[in-house]
Amino acid sequence: MAPDPTPHHPVGRRLTAGRLNAPAPERARPETPAPGRAQPRPWRVRLAALLSALGLLVAVATVVTNTSFLQDVNHGSAALAEPRFPARTRLYTAPDAPAALWVREHPGASWAAVIAGRIASRPQASWFTDPDPMTVAGQVHALVDAARAQHTLPVLVTYAVPRRDCSGHSTGGTGDLATYRTWIESFAQGIGPAQALVILEPDALGLADCLSRPEQHDRFTALSYAGRVLRRDAPHARVYYDAGNSGWHPARTMADRLRRAGATRYADGIALNVSNFNRTHDEVSYGRSVIRRLGNSRLGMVIDTSRNGAGPSPGHRACDPPGRRLGHAPTLDTGVSGVDAYLWVKPPGQADGCAATAGTFDAQYAYRLTR
């Protein structure tokens, strides 16, 4: 079944500095004092000049504050991981992404041009959800080969862990731990020596509360095994363990789960905000808190910005909320220390299960995201 990670939640505020080098206002000509009018005393002139200077300083400080998103999120960057990918690296745009398929099937639709230009033309993650271990290797191999031919980096999402989504809209996954081990081995073999960015099992750690203690143990074991196999059989893949989002679990809780799932041993970083709507700035802060608690400064983070342009909906409604917008375009050149990429992990327009059946593309919802 196609993806629908459940609890979901911020794009940094666009800030505009005042115009630089604007022409100075024309000076007023000196006024000849009228008879009997007292001229300003020198101390008053000096006070006015001082107040004017203070006002200018305040204005400059305001501009600096309002344009300091990158400086704020880069605070303490010396302790953060260096970028994992060269800035020149391009992300792979799959021709069979949900929006691209819809545009090809509906070329004359009124929304087709907008969806094609704003969504289908952008790189998006490819989700692997078929629980059959016998088919996943071929599917993955075909994708990474296509990306390699274009000298681009593919983004792959594993979504097959047992009891995926805890009987929610996207329930499914492999039947048991043994089958999942075979599945992830096939997935890793499909990547082989190719380069790839892998996001490991969205919501698997965030939804661990729905599992019994033995099931939680199996979940952590499954993710740890997945990280180890990917490290061994796909040595050039960068692996990001899903770490929920800033509106879900405290950083301490998520760090503990990541540690138990092997992230400190096998991960290159953590993935945040997958299928959610939280603003990017909040996710950066949350991600840094999680990584700090893990005590591993080599870890980076990637953030899903596919639908967070307007931030979360009132009440943090998670299932296809109205009024949301596309977020920051996918890029590996974020300009933010410790943030390896902004990605469109959740394909925009693919329903969570409320606007349409989970995993299906809803053109009207996609179009609304572009407004």
Q: Which residues are catalytic?
A: 165, 203, 352
Residue corresponding to tokens 């001229």: 39
Go through the chain and tell me how many residues it has: 371
How many whole angstroms separate alpha carbon 161 and alpha carbon 312?
Answer: 27
- Cα separation, 31 vs 279, in Å, equals 54
Residues contacting residue 73 through CB under 8 Å, at least 6 positions apart: 12, 281, 284, 285, 336, 337, 339
DSSP state at residue 118 = I
Fill in the amino acid letter for 148.
R
Q: Which two tokens stand for residue 46?
A: 């000096």
Nearest CA to 3 among 359, 362, 365? Answer: 359
The pair of structure tokens assigned to 98 is 């949900």
| Residue at 32: amino acid letter | T
Give the Å distances, CA to CA, from 321 to 81, 128, 317, 349, 367: 34, 25, 6, 12, 14
Residues facing 339 on adjacent strands: 301
Find out whether 279 and 10 touch, Cβ atoms under 8 Å. Answer: yes
228 Cβ contact partners less than 8 Å away, ≥ 6 residues apart = 262, 265, 266
